[in-house]
Structure 1
Amino acid sequence: MTATHSIPRTRTAEVYLDNNATTPVLPVAAAAAMQCMQQQFGNPSSSHATGIKAKATLEQARSLARQLIGAGKGRILFTSGATEGIQSSVVSAMLALREQHRGGPATLLLYGATEHKAVPESLKHWNSVLQLNATVVAIPVDENGQLNLAFIHQHAPAAGLICTMIANNETGITQPLAELESCIRQANPTVYWLVDCVQALGKMALSLAETTIDYAPFSGHKLYAPKGIGFLYVRPTAPYQPFITGGGQEGGLRSGTENLPGIAALGAVLTELQRTDGDVFQAEAMLWQYRAELLAALRYVFPELVLNSDKPFIVATTLNFSVPGFYSKDIMDLFDAAGIRISSGSACSSKVPSSFVLDAMGLAPWRSQGAIRLSFGPAMTPAECSLACNAISTLKAVVNRHCLVVTDATPTLEIHASGLLQLKHEDSCSYLLIDADSAKAIVIDPVPALLNRIVNIIQGRQLTLLALIDTHQHITEHSASKLLRQALHFEPVNCDSFGWPLATEQLTLGRYQLTRLSTPGHCSNAISILLQRQQQVLAVFVGDLILPGGIGRTDLADGSASQLQQSILQLAQQITADTLLLSSHDYGQRFATTLGLAQQESQLFAKLLAAEPVAQWQRELNAQTAALQQASHYYCGLVEVAPTDASRLIDKAEITALLVQQPALQVVDVREPHEQTAGPLAGYLPATIKVLELPLSKFCDALINQQLDPTRPLMLVCRSGNRSLLACKVLRRFGFNSVYNLSGGMAMLA
């Protein structure tokens, strides 16, 4: 852990590269909305002069939309956005099918497997609500994201509605519209066809009237207009039932007073888009040039970068990539700390997020779990592109310095390269114990998903691996250690099956000594490793013997409840109630435990530690075992959740007052070191505030070395407020009473 931050308090400029999610509002659009609200505020349905002017603004925007998408005689109605357009189109098509007495399992509702979730969710919802009871089927795609035309040709005759998209929001992949149309219409001339055009406007020419597309939704906020405005194209012959009825606005197709400021702003954007002599929207050739420059900057930082979508299947404005050894969150945290806004485009999960789009394309899991979407808009300027490329390029020094990638650079041992490092993947934990003075390290319980990170740290810091040890071995081979040995070319001689050197009772690493203790129970081959300094036990690596909040399961082939109890009792004789216990799994996100905490949090553990006969707690253990066996995810033990939290949340405005009330308050940055380097917290706080950098991966090290004072008030900060809240819970659990969490994290300080 370092002392206070010494970097000057300068704040990183924001570089926004997430335009597929939303865009900033163009100045001319904002001005048009403001003028409309203040000077042209009339109701377009009113017959007086003020209303007539408002109506003119509305119809001018409609005319512009009609021209830009080549709508011909098709209907254009304003909506709140693409989701409403999708919903109303789906409902209209399904009502028409119901009137035609088409429904039931034999009728298909087809959609592209990589469609925006609004499409399949709408199909499923309204299919149920309207009791059409049709069969909803995903159209598969190939590795380039292209729809399977043979599948469409085979299934289209039975389809009542087909939904596709012209450009994908995650990958930028486009579909060959003419070829797709030919395939659909040859198989079924009358099937209703919805095409999501949200990501197409402003990036490619459209002539919808020349196609047989029935419905095409558009969204304003994806093209520099405000949120809450969009429009829908409806083919003249396509059925349409009003989704919202009432006053009869929009020719009776969409009731409710129109969002005139939003429409005026959208009209201003469409005006700029239509201009051939304008300087707002860039020519397609310039967009491809931007893409090449941004990709070059990314490859400079991540030489092993792999594109998940590429020419000739994409629009220029989307870069979707993965980097071997990185999950999406790793890169997002790094970029966000540097003020670069990107996205993963992945589905949220308590586990590692995975992109359903890339999964549908059949790409490798590491690419799906590591996918990053960088998207810029067609109004990007050369100066903005240059700023973005420079901001990305500066991260090369950060990733090299913190061994996120292996380089030939001379290593600089820092906070995370000394002492105990707890690396976590989902609910699994690996430990890396490093002695900076001798440049030696010991790895305990490596996890397959963390091997690349461990290799980068050891090779990047030029560390000598002293030992690679597992705390337990199930009947199946423990492959992670084998893979790590191969990756590091580490072939120790005269070691037992755990990786412990034979004829050696004690391992010495700098100031630390490690000894082992046989602790079977979770499985027959298990040890605990005692970490000592000056003959004092600081912590114990207990594998799955004891978990933060529970105990290891014993229902495996080589498990034993009685042995588990004896191992816990044996361990308890060698440590104190406050000795830190480090497990190989952390299902409750508690980082570590102690005998004292384990007794408080688990009645079952308390019975084991009290040496109660197995018969008195076997039933409770069996109930837990049954629950574990029914779980969809494999767990090595059952954890009982205890209620813990921060003292309270504080916001940005309260910081100064809190410092006056508690002058001893210590601000702690719990982000990882590469984030701290890329975007120092000190630049977002008053100069009088000193920041202590303590990444979550070093929390156990800090607890072991008593580097935080339980009596001193702490304010924890991270990027979004989530990790700092987790850290608050951990510290509260270990007796820290005054811990505050900055609500919203650094995002609210920016």
Structure 2
Amino acid sequence: MSSIRPLSSLSEVYLDNNATTPVLAVAAAAAMHSMQSSFGNPSSSHATGIKAKAELETTRALARKLIGATSGDIVFTSGATEGIQTSIVSALQSARDKGQIGPEALLLYSSTEHKAVPESLKHWNHVLQVNATIQAIPVDKNGIIDYQFLADNLAKAIMVCTMAANNETGVKQDLVALEKLIRSSNPNVFWMVDCVQALGKMALNIAKTSIDYAPFSGHKLYAPKGIGFLYVRDGAPYQPFIAGGGQESGLRSGTENLPGIAALHAVFTELTKTTDSAFKDDATLWRYREHLLAALRSVFPALVLNSDQPYIVPTTINFSVPGFYSKDIMDLFDAAGIRVSSGSACSSKVPSSFVLDAMGLEAWRSQGAIRLSFGPAMTEQECEQACQRIAQLADVVCKHCLVLTDATPTLELHAHGLIQLKHEALCSYIVICAETRQTVVIDPVLPLASRIANIVLGQNLDLVAVLDTHIHQDHQSARCELLMLAGLEDEKQKVDNLGWPLQQTSILVGQYRLEKCQTPGHTPEAISILLTKQEQLQAAFVGDVILPGGIGRTDLVGGNMDDLANSIRLLAQKVGKECLLLSSHDYAQRFFTTLRLACSEQPLLAQLLQGLPAKQWQAELRAQAIKLQQVSNYFCGLVEVSYADATDVIAPENIAAFLQQKPNTKVIDVREPHEQSAGALSLYLPNELEIKEIPLSKLADALINAELNIEQPLLLVCRSGNRSLVACKILTEMGFTEVYNLKGGTALLS
């Protein structure tokens, strides 16, 4: 099935400048000139070295001018992290020498600080054996430091670490007000201010402050990576972090990075220009922000800003969209060639932003946060291109019912058959008959309720039933919420507590028939649902009776070992060895299993079906229950899986040779439908390749309908290579003989 017509161009639109910036052309030229022509060592006494020394000192003087540092030291470093380490080591060693040690001494840092700060405090506090108490300073809902907390704790503090501007939210702190509070409460406390996101975005006049240390980074302001500088106030203690040849007046040994410093010189020169500078004034940057926001709102009308005026610098837009996790939007934007950031730590679970958590914002905002950041040297043309590219996504999100509009619903490419949606380890299912446009939802979970409702309402589907396989003890069903969203609240009176119509044992959904099968054991009311089409068994929704790689637990309220054994035997009779078993939990990223696979992975199952005595079965389940009771997370069953893997991983540069060797290879695009529409895979790969779009959410449906040849070589592709690797493992377990994964996915092809 072909994709929606792709965007006209996939040239990269880079909107992640708070992470790093491209190098300015003049900065790159300056670095190249330094490497090829002015390559002298500043420590050499001959003419070539003297020229290099002059470049270094001229750049240092420009740095002073830009940050208003008429006194103090400017030390060139490898970047902000080194500057942070040097500052913390210097302050802590001085405090230790003065006897300011032990848990009564406090090390304070803003709770929204870059992780480099608290991690460095923890590390050096331990290494230097200061053993002070490290404490985060709370912030309010706008990201502003809690002044009362600071006032209450400053007297015992030996160091305070704050930011000029936050890297995730763009929130700026009032350094003048902070200084007044800090110095009135504790004149001798060491104060470090992370200025990485400040230069070029807000005014700095460090000479008029009592800031002790201020680290800066070059690559956040159009210079290369590996160069930065540290401001150290006159009189502040300083301990060289790197000893050796005595460069930088003994403050930082090691031959200076002259190409990086030359690049900084070029950037600083642009910043000091009053006319024709590459850097834009505040008014222009605020105007760019409004244009970008308007484009974003054309795609996501319900967008909510997580930080806003008057608390921010103009170049950061941090937003969330109800019903979306950050990964959803990241995948969509990345497929369209738009680079943004989630600002969240990677996790096997749904990640959240520690910065927004610290601000006390709702979980959905933290888990859905997107950071769009542009640089102060953005051009009018770049802003216009970014706005156009973002606005083009409005059609994509409408087409795939990610956002509902008043537009006439159109058929989503994959909105038929069986759709499997996942939230962490929770699974929900939608079965849609393409001919009658009827649908049934099975095991809906609250985090997926909006997505499911959008599909049902956006596709104008006739919702026949919303079913649960059992009463879930680890999460709440979204059945009532879905009925309400669909305007079917009265239906609740005509069904049992699992949503099954009273006095009915089967439900018709167009060509599909759903048959209820009582399978207690995990819970007393549990059922399995057999899905048939034209009298052919398609799949079985088994709740937590059998899990991919495991067996449901029976040590909860209402659980019964004998009932579970009988339920498994009944399922075995009804479904056979190769029918797909779809569970309500998937702890091992396996998506589904079969009785054959389950028995091979769990010998206990095979033994049960071969007549295992009840006492032995119960002993094994008790042992499983003990293991589950000892883990910190809640699990509905014990899962122990040994993964198969891809047949091989193919690097992008080896695709041509691979295809020459295996010309009948079929390429499988496992990205989700909205990603496929935003950036078709055919834009990245040779035209003659056979490409089939099978999102992970439709993988079970593809196997049910035999869309893949078990013996044909398959090359699986996603955005980063991670989801395609999951799909490779699943297919290999299912018996596919040649399943290959494209290393790095489309990210390394673009």
Tell me how far apart the structure 1 counterparts of residues 577 and 198 of structure 2 sit (CA, whole Å). Answer: 63
Residues 342 and 369, structure 2, Cα contact 8 Å, conserved in 1: yes
Shift of the alpha carbon at 1:126? 0.4
Question: Which residues of 2 match residues 444-459 of structure 1 at below 5 A?
Answer: 444-459=442-457
Residues 112 and 164, structure 1, Cα contact 8 Å, conserved in 2: yes
Find the counterpart in structure 2 of residue 28 from structure 1: 26
Tell me how far apart the structure 1 counterparts of residues 9 and 590 of structure 2 sit (CA, whole Å). Answer: 32
Residues 18 and 376, structure 1, Cα contact 8 Å, conserved in 2: yes
Shift of the alpha carbon at 1:395? 0.4
Residues 42 and 54, structure 1, Cα contact 8 Å, conserved in 2: yes
Tell me how far apart the structure 2 counterparts of residues 607 and 499 of structure 1 sit (CA, whole Å). Answer: 34
Change (3 A) 1:474 1:316: closer
- Matching residue's letter, 2:486: L
Question: Which residues of 2 match residues 208-219 of structure 1 at below 5 A?
Answer: 208-219=206-217
1:387 paired with 2:405, answer no
Find the counterpart in structure 2 of residue 511 from structure 1: 511
1:286 paired with 2:313, answer no
Find the counterpart in structure 1 of residue 363 from structure 2: 365
- Number of equivalenced pairs: 748
- Matching residue's letter, 1:101: G
Shift of the alpha carbon at 1:476? 9.2
Find the counterpart in structure 1 of residue 101 from structure 2: 103
Find the counterpart in structure 1 of residue 274 from structure 2: 276
SS of match in other structure, 1:473: coil
Find the counterpart in structure 2 of residue 58 from structure 1: 56
Residues 4 and 677, structure 2, Cα contact 8 Å, conserved in 1: no
Find the counterpart in structure 2 of residue 700 from structure 1: 700
Change (3 A) 1:293 1:476: closer
Find the counterpart in structure 1 of residue 168 from structure 2: 170
- Matching residue's letter, 1:20: N
Question: Which residues of 2 match residues 377-526 of structure 1 at below 5 A?
Answer: 377-474=375-472, 478-490=476-488, 491-492=490-491, 493-526=493-526
The percentage of counterpart residues that share the same residue type is 63
**How far does the alpha carbon of each residue in 1:139-181 deviate from its partner, in whole angstroms, 9 at most, with x for none?**
0000000000011111001000000001000000001111111
Tell me how far apart the structure 1 counterparts of residues 225 and 381 of structure 2 sit (CA, whole Å). Answer: 26
Question: Which residues of 2 match residues 611-626 of structure 1 at below 5 A?
Answer: 611-626=611-626
Residues 5 and 677, structure 2, Cα contact 8 Å, conserved in 1: no
Shift of the alpha carbon at 1:576? 1.4
Unaligned runs of 5+ in 1: none
Shift of the alpha carbon at 1:11? 4.6
- Matching residue's letter, 2:641: V
Shift of the alpha carbon at 1:530? 0.4
Residues 10 and 683, structure 1, Cα contact 8 Å, conserved in 2: no
Shift of the alpha carbon at 1:632? 1.8
**How far does the alpha carbon of each residue in 1:462-495 deviate from its partner, in whole angstroms, 9 at most, with x for none?**
1110011100115799542122222222232421
Shift of the alpha carbon at 1:213? 0.1
Residues 113 and 141, structure 1, Cα contact 8 Å, conserved in 2: yes
Tell me how far apart the structure 2 counterparts of residues 411 and 172 of structure 1 sit (CA, whole Å). Answer: 38
Provide the TM-score with structure 1 as the length reference: 0.98
**How far does the alpha carbon of each residue in 1:619-656 deviate from its partner, in whole angstroms, 9 at most, with x for none?**
33222212211222211111112121111110112111
Find the counterpart in structure 1 of residue 637 from structure 2: 637
Find the counterpart in structure 2 of residue 606 from structure 1: 606
Q: Which moves more between the two structures, 572-581 or 476-485?
A: 476-485
Change (3 A) 1:9 1:421: same
- Matching residue's letter, 1:319: I
- Matching residue's letter, 1:452: S
Find the counterpart in structure 1 of residue 536 from structure 2: 536
Find the counterpart in structure 2 of residue 220 from structure 1: 218
Extract structure 1 runs of 4+ deviating beyond 4 A.
Answer: 4-11, 474-479
Find the counterpart in structure 2 of residue 145 from structure 1: 143
Tell me how far apart the structure 2 counterparts of residues 617 and 95 of structure 1 sit (CA, whole Å). Answer: 62
Query: Which of 125, 150, 162 in structure 2 is aligned with 1:127?
Result: 125
Find the counterpart in structure 1 of residue 36 from structure 2: 38
Change (3 A) 1:280 1:475: closer
Tell me how far apart the structure 2 counterparts of residues 604 and 486 of structure 1 sit (CA, whole Å). Answer: 42
Find the counterpart in structure 2 of residue 194 from structure 1: 192
1:727 paired with 2:727, answer yes
- Matching residue's letter, 1:456: N
Query: Which of 79, 82, 107 in structure 2 is aligned with 1:81?
Result: 79
Residues 554 and 561, structure 2, Cα contact 8 Å, conserved in 1: yes
Question: Which residues of 2 match residues 589-600 of structure 1 at below 5 A?
Answer: 589-600=589-600
Q: Which moves more between the two structures, 484-493 or 696-705?
A: 484-493
SS of match in other structure, 2:494: coil
- Matching residue's letter, 1:654: N
**How far does the alpha carbon of each residue in 1:86-127 deviate from its partner, in whole angstroms, 9 at most, with x for none?**
001000000000000111000000000000000000001100
Residues 514 and 532, structure 1, Cα contact 8 Å, conserved in 2: yes
Residues 343 and 372, structure 1, Cα contact 8 Å, conserved in 2: yes
- Matching residue's letter, 2:144: Q
1:558 paired with 2:562, answer no
Shift of the alpha carbon at 1:7? 4.5
Residues 445 and 475, structure 2, Cα contact 8 Å, conserved in 1: no
CA RMSD of aligned residues (A): 1.3
**How far does the alpha carbon of each residue in 1:565-596 deviate from its partner, in whole angstroms, 9 at most, with x for none?**
11000111112100110000000001100000
Find the counterpart in structure 2 of residue 742 from structure 1: 742
Residues 11 and 683, structure 1, Cα contact 8 Å, conserved in 2: no
Unaligned runs of 5+ in 2: none
Tell me how far apart the structure 1 counterparts of residues 4 and 469 of structure 2 sit (CA, whole Å). Answer: 40
1:70 paired with 2:97, answer no
Residues 431 and 446, structure 1, Cα contact 8 Å, conserved in 2: yes
Tell me how far apart the structure 2 counterparts of residues 275 and 131 of structure 1 sit (CA, whole Å). Answer: 47
